[in-house]
Amino acid sequence: MKKINKVVLAYSGGLDTSVILRWLKENYQCEVVTFTADLGQEEDFAAVEAKAKQQGTSEIFIEDLKEEFVKDYVFPMFRANPLYEGYYLLGTAIARPLIAKKQIEIAQQVNAEAVSHGATGKGNDQIRFELGYYYHQADIEIISPWRIWDMNSRLELVKYADQHNIEIAKDKRGEQPFSIDANVLHSSAEGKVLEDPFVEAPEYVYTRSVSPFEAPNEIEEVTIDFKSGDACAVNGKTLSPYQILEKLNTIGGKHGVGRIDLVENRFIGMKSRGIYETPGGTILYHAHRAIESITLDKEAAHTKDDASHRYAKLIYNGLWFSPERDMLQAMIDQTQNNVSGKVRLKIYKGNVMITGRESPFSLYNTDLATFEDDNIYSQQDAEGFIKLNALRLRNLRQDKE
Ligand code: ARG
């Protein structure tokens, strides 16, 4: 084991990182500095701090990154309309790069030669953290306890916690918790009963939305304003990026919007089942597509859609900090200059329904689209257009006859 003097641990205060804090001190006889990122998860940070202190942390950093997270990570990503495997809005994947970047900054500030995290050796998060670390400091030492120690299950972690008097948060039913990751964009739960993909997720897994079946019987109407691709106001009220997501979470959560039960393919190759709640993000996703529908040129929109799939995969795989993401981002951002205007929506029992959109840059041309009389479009021109497109199809037909 390499001699380490000081390590900065990405510390959530949950089961895994609490055990890791203790384990690092015991195994490396080193100073442990904890870093907790406030990304808008519902967390009692005073309790996290007290816990870290009680475990003998030498220095504690708790940083409010809420605005930076939404403004510089979530919003740029949402310009791409990113969905991994058709459904996942990447709530965990987009948070890891920011945590990694800040963690390296702190390591440099306190002169630590190593960083550590609580992601297991099976998942995506180890990759996302560590690609982020290496990008920001090529020679950083990384301690990934799950890949080193001989504890092989969360159950063994619970045992270790009991033996070492480490308090662990219980879920609402007093049981050992699911593996949870949460921030203002989403919360996700994995493990325990969810490991059987045929078993329906029990209602108590959900933390930020009501069931669509229990949602109010009244429709809620919402407007969202966009400026150059980013949402800037809800119901006519100008809000900061973080406040926008918070506001949309409240609305979406109340109406059961954005619950997803997913089996996904991890970067490593295995399939995993998770429950996601992304109420505000889901509303934002649909609204952004709606404002793009009137402001983007057809082929620009289609080219962007092609890139979107690739972009989502790249974020999922932890490559936010990479030349290829920079390239795609530049391309996507360039399409957003005129993506401004207002979208009207109705929210009802898990559904997000677009009911209207307008923009000073709208390319929607009533004169062209109308079923009524117009004098700028000649219907006769369509005949030649169709005949030329049919040229090769008719040619095929003749070959057969
Ligand atoms: N499977 C999701 C992803 O890779 C979430 C991972 C973290 N969530 C958790 N409950 N531990 O982005």
**Which residues are paired to 273 by β-bridges?**
263
59-66 mean pLDDT: 98
Residues 6+ apart with CB under 8 A from 363: 294, 295, 296, 297
- Which segment of 9-13, 166-170, 395-399 scores lowest on mean pLDDT? 166-170
Residue 400 binned pLDDT confidence (cut-offs 50, 70, 90) = low
Q: Which residues contact 306 (CB under 8 A, 6 or more apart)?
A: none
Task: Read off the pLDDT of each residue in 99-127 and give the average, rounded to a whole number.
Answer: 97
CB distance 130 to ligand 1 below 6 Å: no
- 214 burial (CB, 10 Å; 0-12 / 13-18 / 19+) is exposed
Catalytic residue among 125, 181, 225, 230: 125
- Give the model's confidence band at 173: pLDDT under 50 very low, under 70 low, under 90 confident, else very high: low
Please name which of 91, 37, 46, 103 lies closest in space to residue 65, comparing C-alpha atoms.
37
d(CA 267, CA 122): 10
Q: What is the pLDDT of residue 172?
A: 55
Could you tell me what percent of the chain has a pLDDT over 70? 97
User: Tens digit of pLDDT for each residue in 177-186?
Assistant: 688 899 999 9
CB burial class (10 A; 0-12, 13-18, 19+) of residue 334?
exposed
Q: What is the pLDDT of residue 178?
A: 82
User: What's residue 174's pLDDT?
Assistant: 62
CB-CB contact of 7 with 33 (8 Å): yes
pTM of the model: 0.95
> Average pLDDT, stretch 276-301?
98
- Which of 18, 22, 79, 96 does the annotation list as catalytic? 96
pLDDT at residue number 333: 98
Q: Ligand 1, residues 190, 272, 277: which to mutate, most atoms within 8 A of Cβ? A: 190
Distance 125 CA to ligand 1 centre (A): 7
pLDDT in tens, 301-324: 999 999 999 999 999 999 999 999
* Strand ranges of the sheet holding 237-238, from the earlier edge strand across to the other edge: 237-238, 230-234, 220-227, 341-348, 351-358
* Residues belonging to the chain: 401
Average pLDDT taken over every residue of the chain: 95
